[in-house]
Structure 1
Amino acid sequence: MLQIEAVADKASLQAVSWLPEGAVRLLDQRRLPELVSHDCHDEVEVLAAMRCGVVVGAAALGVAAAFGVALAARQLVTPVRDWSQELEPVIAAFAALGPMAANLQWALGIMRQTLAGIASDADVPGRLLQAAEAIAGADAEANQSMARFGLQLLRRHHSAEQKLMLLGYSGELSGGGGGTAMGVVQAAHRAGVLKEVLVGEASPSRSGARLAAWELQRTGVPCSLIADTAAASSMKYDPVSWVVVGAERIAANGDVITTQGTYALAILAMHHGLRFMVVASTATLDMSLSDGDALEPEVLQGAAGAGQPLDVTPVELIDAIVTEKGVIERPDEGKIAKLMSIRRLH
């Protein structure tokens, strides 16, 4: 049965964590700023929590799903003749929650690879738990690298304090820790190069923007909530230097699939002479997707789940893609392919 309990307020938040007694703790992002967690003891409870929006963010979904698969393995009665066959329906159920969430699909791919490489007489549940923990750790490490690279990019183009604009939520709770676009903002604040952040969102609920503003205020970052309809006038009259966003998936040519409203914001940024930065790990890069136009509109409308449709921002509108492997300025297919050829753990 799903258990709910209050969580103590800490300096650092964690969306997904493994408990020593063999359960997955999910921080309920619907209840913030009230800190409430759900302790899930099997994959059914993890799936149910993910379906109803307890966890948001492609990377966080991936981490939660990986731990859910590890939980499912612990429920099987040994001996198991074929672990991959037994667990594939569970993996498929998690994959169906976010078909366009590249980080989720990447994490489940790692779990499949782990299963394929384990002997049937080995400690399969234990090995799967190690793989899930490694996925969470790799995402946190990638976020730290992206924050560092993003800060270097900000400093390279602007030496003075600057004002940034965010869309939606890409913070501490969107993955293994640190955040993507929000991680760059936080790094800029710690380095003393950030003046203020303008936070907006195009979705009717504006839940992502509220969550972003709450997290920024919690860590002392000066920020203001703006309506999406006010983005153009803010760009015109405020000295905004960069628009910084995350991504659900990036095509091989650099087209970015992410929160609906990003495309319009990128057009406005170009018109007003602002730079546009996408912060996403290489797990988000889908080299099998040639470009964003390969996706049907109905796929984008239903891809994100929980009433959060996506759109495609063409690569021509993007000044830089920041990954844990480095920064691609003026991205194109060749530069992305070169970056992806660099070997790294993540």
Structure 2
Amino acid sequence: MLHVDTMAADQPLQGLVWLAEGKVRLLDQRVLPDQVVAIECGNPAQVLAAMRDGVVCGAAALGIAAAYALALAARRPVPPVNWLTALQPLLDELAAVQPMAANLHWALGIMRQTIASTSPTDDMAVRLLQAAQAIQAADREANQTMAKLGVQLLRRHQAPVHRVMLHGYGGDLSGGGGGTTYGVARTASAAGLVGEVLVNEGRSLLPSASLGLSELLRSGAPAALHADVEAGRLMKHDGVTWVLVGAERIAANGDVIGPLGSYMLAILAMHHGLRFMVVASTATIDMSLADADDLGPDQLGSGSLTRGGGESSPLEVTPVELIDAIVTEKGIIEQPDERKVASLMSVRQLH
């Protein structure tokens, strides 16, 4: 069911909302910011289609949507003898939407564990809904913490005024709320640390950078849109101090798999003496992937951001030696390497 809504100027967008009548409400990222179209999904097939068609974009948002799809799948009149066997085909379909989206697979792992550990006397639909809502809340809390830590990092590297460049969409709709890179930029702007936010627009980036720009302007952060091919000139002449990007997956050594263009920006940042920050929760870190050197175009060729009709946005690897800091909800890794990543991941937290 489609609904065309108005966008309140003082309210953040909520990309995924569980409705009391047992449906999940998704904002269609394909038409924002020009229109605010909400899609209500009452069964898992509708959520899966929305994920495949680009209604939902971003690894964390895909994970939350997948969790709600499983909660919907458990709302059946006749429970199966074995829930895990019954839901495994849907688990497989959800995982296949984006093999490189670590947050998606992290969320599916939690849902699979919930299914396996639920007693036959428990209500599976209730248990899976609770798990899905906890995943969404955990991502929102992680984003809030990362925003604070990112601001701390900016404060430590003082400049008369920071001018930050954002690449790839890391706003409110990319996960449970608050955003990753956009959360840092907004919080830093509110604290008076940022004079201007430069938003990269590139044909390979989905959703459109205009969505992120509108979020920043709505929050009061000074922001401007520019073509990604202008990045080098802006770094050289316009006082850029930091480049901020997100990640689909981070290897154990700190290599980052992210949106196309990140590698180029990291090289340009190093050449111009700027700092390069990755903002991503620990759900993005894959300790089973030693490094990303051996990942080929076939594995990186399709990212999590897709349009209806099958067009996809490729991913690429930014080597760890080009990264100045990885900001997570557990802490900041400056000059990351395998030892520092392992040390961070040994810290026990919800995420």
Matches within 5 A, 1:73-222: 73-74=74-75, 76-204=76-204, 207-222=207-222
Counterparts in 2 of 1:331 and 1:186: CA distance versus 1, 3 Å: same
Counterparts in 2 of 1:215 and 1:240: CA distance versus 1, 3 Å: same
Q: Secondary structure at the match of 1:200?
A: strand
What is the identity, as a one-letter code, of the residue corresponding to 1:309?
Answer: P
Alpha-carbon distance between aligned partners in 2 of 1:327 and 1:228, rounded to the nearest angstrom:
27
Q: Note the residue ranges of structure 1 that are not aligned, 5 or more in a row.
A: none
Q: Secondary structure at the match of 2:105?
A: helix
Alpha-carbon distance between aligned partners in 1 of 2:292 and 2:226, rounded to the nearest angstrom:
28
Alpha-carbon distance between aligned partners in 1 of 2:97 and 2:206, rounded to the nearest angstrom:
21
- Quote the residue 1:304 is aligned against: 304
User: What is the deviation of 1:8?
Assistant: 3.7
User: What is the deviation of 1:213?
Assistant: 1.0
User: What is the deviation of 1:220?
Assistant: 1.8
What is the identity, as a one-letter code, of the residue corresponding to 1:323?
Answer: T
- Quote the residue 2:319 is aligned against: 314
Counterparts in 2 of 1:204 and 1:331: CA distance versus 1, 3 Å: closer
User: What is the deviation of 1:339?
Assistant: 0.2
Q: Secondary structure at the match of 2:56?
A: coil
Alpha-carbon distance between aligned partners in 1 of 2:143 and 2:328, rounded to the nearest angstrom:
8
- Quote the residue 2:3 is aligned against: 5
User: What is the deviation of 1:78?
Assistant: 2.4
User: What is the deviation of 1:120?
Assistant: 1.9
Q: 1:336 aligns with which of 335, 338, 341?
A: 341
Structure-2-length-normalised TM-score: 0.95
Post-superposition CA distance 1:34-93 (Å, at most 9, x none): 11100000000101111111011100010011001000110x332421011101111111
Alpha-carbon distance between aligned partners in 2 of 1:5 and 1:208, rounded to the nearest angstrom:
21
Q: RMSD in angstroms over aligned alpha carbons? A: 1.2
Matches within 5 A, 1:8-23: 8-10=6-8, 11-23=11-23
User: What is the deviation of 1:200?
Assistant: 0.8
Alpha-carbon distance between aligned partners in 2 of 1:206 and 1:326, rounded to the nearest angstrom:
28
Alpha-carbon distance between aligned partners in 1 of 2:300 and 2:286, rounded to the nearest angstrom:
15
Alpha-carbon distance between aligned partners in 2 of 1:44 and 1:144, rounded to the nearest angstrom:
31
Counterparts in 2 of 1:56 and 1:275: CA distance versus 1, 3 Å: same
Q: Which has the higher mean CA deviation after the structures are superposed, 78-87 or 283-292? A: 78-87
User: What is the deviation of 1:302?
Assistant: 2.4
User: What is the deviation of 1:218?
Assistant: 1.7
What is the identity, as a one-letter code, of the residue corresponding to 2:235?
Answer: M
Q: Secondary structure at the match of 2:179?
A: coil
Post-superposition CA distance 1:187-218 (Å, at most 9, x none): 10111111001111433466432211121112
Contact map agreement 2:64 2:136 (CA 8 A) in 1: yes
Post-superposition CA distance 1:293-341 (Å, at most 9, x none): 1312211012435211000000000000000000000000000000000
What is the identity, as a one-letter code, of the residue corresponding to 1:190?
Answer: A
What is the identity, as a one-letter code, of the residue corresponding to 1:149?
Answer: L
Contact map agreement 2:324 2:336 (CA 8 A) in 1: yes
What is the identity, as a one-letter code, of the residue corresponding to 1:344?
Answer: Q
What is the identity, as a one-letter code, of the residue corresponding to 1:336?
Answer: V
Q: Percent identity between the aligned chains?
A: 58
Contact map agreement 2:205 2:313 (CA 8 A) in 1: no
Q: Which has the higher mean CA deviation after the structures are superposed, 92-101 or 159-168? A: 159-168
User: What is the deviation of 1:184?
Assistant: 0.3
User: What is the deviation of 1:159?
Assistant: 5.0
Contact map agreement 2:200 2:225 (CA 8 A) in 1: yes
Post-superposition CA distance 1:235-254 (Å, at most 9, x none): 00011110011100000000
Contact map agreement 1:203 1:260 (CA 8 A) in 2: no
User: What is the deviation of 1:6?
Assistant: 2.1
Contact map agreement 2:60 2:176 (CA 8 A) in 1: yes
Counterparts in 2 of 1:130 and 1:120: CA distance versus 1, 3 Å: same
Post-superposition CA distance 1:159-207 (Å, at most 9, x none): 5321000012100110000000111001101111110011114334664
Alpha-carbon distance between aligned partners in 2 of 1:117 and 1:213, rounded to the nearest angstrom:
43
Structure-1-length-normalised TM-score: 0.97
Alpha-carbon distance between aligned partners in 2 of 1:256 and 1:202, rounded to the nearest angstrom:
19
Contact map agreement 2:167 2:200 (CA 8 A) in 1: yes
Q: Which has the higher mean CA deviation after the structures are superposed, 209-218 or 262-271? A: 209-218
- For the pair 1:61 / 2:62, whether they are aligned, the reply is yes
Q: Secondary structure at the match of 2:81?
A: coil
Q: Secondary structure at the match of 1:203?
A: coil
Q: How many residues align?
A: 343
Contact map agreement 1:149 1:327 (CA 8 A) in 2: yes
Counterparts in 2 of 1:207 and 1:77: CA distance versus 1, 3 Å: closer
